[in-house]
Amino acid sequence: LWVAAAAAGPQLGFEGHSAFLFGAGDLPADTVLNLPWVSHTEPVNALSIPTWAIHFSSVFEFLFAMSLIWDFAETTGNEKWKGLTWGMLPLHASGIAACTYHFFYNPSSLQFLVSTQAGLTLLGNITVAIAAYRIAVSNGWTLSELNPFPKSNTSPEGLVIDEAAAVPLKITEAKESTAILAAKLTALTLATSYAVKYGELGIDLPFTANGAAGVAMVIGIPAITGVQYYLKSKEEGGEMAFGFGGGGSGDGESALSMADVKKYGLAGTVAYVLTELAFWAVAFPVASTLFYNSVGHWPDVINDAGDRTAVLASVFAGANVARLLVPLRFGAALALAPWVDENLINRQKA
């Protein structure tokens, strides 16, 4: 029926911005033009209210889920669940990237936002997988359980999780009922959809395809969420980022830090510097390649300010994302330190 309706729509008088669902899908064109703040005509490829609602409901659902998971960590006393909230942050940024691209009416010059969304989705899938692994390990799970052919069905290794099920659940009263959460999600989704769709008709920014503004939106909005959880972590004394220093419940667990690198002396410091240089050595080529795949030409960072801004913004975004993986960078430096000591430091002394 939907396919038939879409095919027959133009014959029935339904055009790109015809009002439907009594204005819930799109307001009548005359009503939109009579709004006091409107100074632009909506492009033909503008998203409808239901389409905007799909995008914004996804964004708000992630924010709600991140908050609920954080509260679950507080209830259970397992700080590793907070790592899942942090792991969802790149996926939240991915949703913002999609909304930003549509905010500017999908211009080809901002195609790099689509690639950015894909990259953030990949990164988010990785960070969420790491968070899930840390939660599983904190609950007694081991990699040996992935073996589809265990030696024995009664092996003690398989009883760890069963014993965890015997631990009494700690139950706390929910801050808000499911009905209230659903109502808030619906209200936020619809209000934001209408505000963006018709509010942006009163400003010039969406019609200028400003790459710098787009990057600022993709970085800035998730950054606000990240700062809120950072301050919350600091206030509660919980974990603020991913730690790779073990799989315990979080009590007294120490993640990799610069102090571990310094234990290797000069070799550790040199190894850390080399890992940082390696990041910056690949950052510009990667950013330039993403730009080429999105726009269709290599960036002219000397003569074109727009190209230069887009490439530098990509490098800046990559540098901020890399901060989420600081323990992993320390781990790379520690792995490299023995080689540096043997092949650079000691050889130089000889």
List pLDDT tens digits, range 293-332. 767 778 887 777 777 777 777 766 666 666 656 666 676 7
Q: Distance (Å, rounded) from C-alpha 235 to C-alpha 59?
A: 26
275 within 8 A of 268, measured Cβ to Cβ: no
Mean of the pLDDT values across residues 158-182? Answer: 64
Q: Distance (Å, rounded) from C-alpha 87 to C-alpha 270?
A: 30
List pLDDT tens digits, range 113-166. 998 899 889 988 998 998 898 888 888 877 777 666 655 555 554 444 455 544
94 within 8 A of 58, measured Cβ to Cβ: no
- How many CB atoms neighbour CB 211 within 10 A? 23
Range with the poorest average pLDDT among 145-159, 193-207, 256-270: 145-159
331 within 8 A of 130, measured Cβ to Cβ: no
Specify the 3-state DSSP secondary structure of 166. coil
Q: Distance (Å, rounded) from C-alpha 207 to C-alpha 103?
A: 9
Q: Is the pLDDT of residue 269 over 80?
A: yes
Q: What pLDDT is stored for residue 255 in this prediction? A: 55
Lookup: tokens for 212: 């710098």
Smallest Cα–Cα separation from 102: which of 24, 47, 26? 47
Looking at residue 341, what DSSP letter applies? I
- Please report, rounded to a whole number, the percentage of residues in the chain having pLDDT higher than 90: 21
Q: Distance (Å, rounded) from C-alpha 310 to C-alpha 308?
A: 6
Q: Is the pLDDT of residue 18 over 80?
A: no
Q: What pLDDT is stored for residue 311 in this prediction? A: 75
Smallest Cα–Cα separation from 89: which of 329, 332, 317? 317
Q: Is the pLDDT of residue 69 over 90?
A: yes
Q: Residue 58 is inside which H or E element, if any?
A: helix 49-76
Task: Kindly list the distances between the CA atom of residue 42 and the CA atoms of 16, 49, 52, 96, 146, in Å, as whole numbers in the listed order.
Answer: 10, 13, 14, 21, 54
Q: Distance (Å, rounded) from C-alpha 346 to C-alpha 349?
A: 5
Amino acid at site 210? N
Higher-pLDDT residue of 275 and 106 is: 106
Lookup: tokens for 160: 């760890």
Looking at residue 256, what DSSP letter applies? -
Q: Is the pLDDT of residue 112 over 60?
A: yes
245 within 8 A of 254, measured Cβ to Cβ: yes
336: burial class by Cβ within 10 Å (0-12, 13-18, 19+)?
buried
Per-residue confidence band for 17, with pLDDT thresholds at 50, 70 and 90 = low
Phi, psi of 289 (to 5 degrees): -65, -40
Phi, psi of 20 (to 5 degrees): -145, 165
Amino acid at site 41? T
Q: Is the pLDDT of residue 64 over 50?
A: yes
- Mean pLDDT of the residues in the chain: 77
List pLDDT tens digits, range 23-53. 566 787 788 888 899 999 889 889 988 889 9
Q: What pLDDT is stored for residue 249 in this prediction? A: 40
Per-residue confidence band for 1, with pLDDT thresholds at 50, 70 and 90 = low
Q: Residue 189 is inside which H or E element, if any?
A: helix 178-199
Partner residues linked to 20 by β-bridges: 26
Q: Is the pLDDT of residue 238 over 60?
A: no
69 within 8 A of 233, measured Cβ to Cβ: no
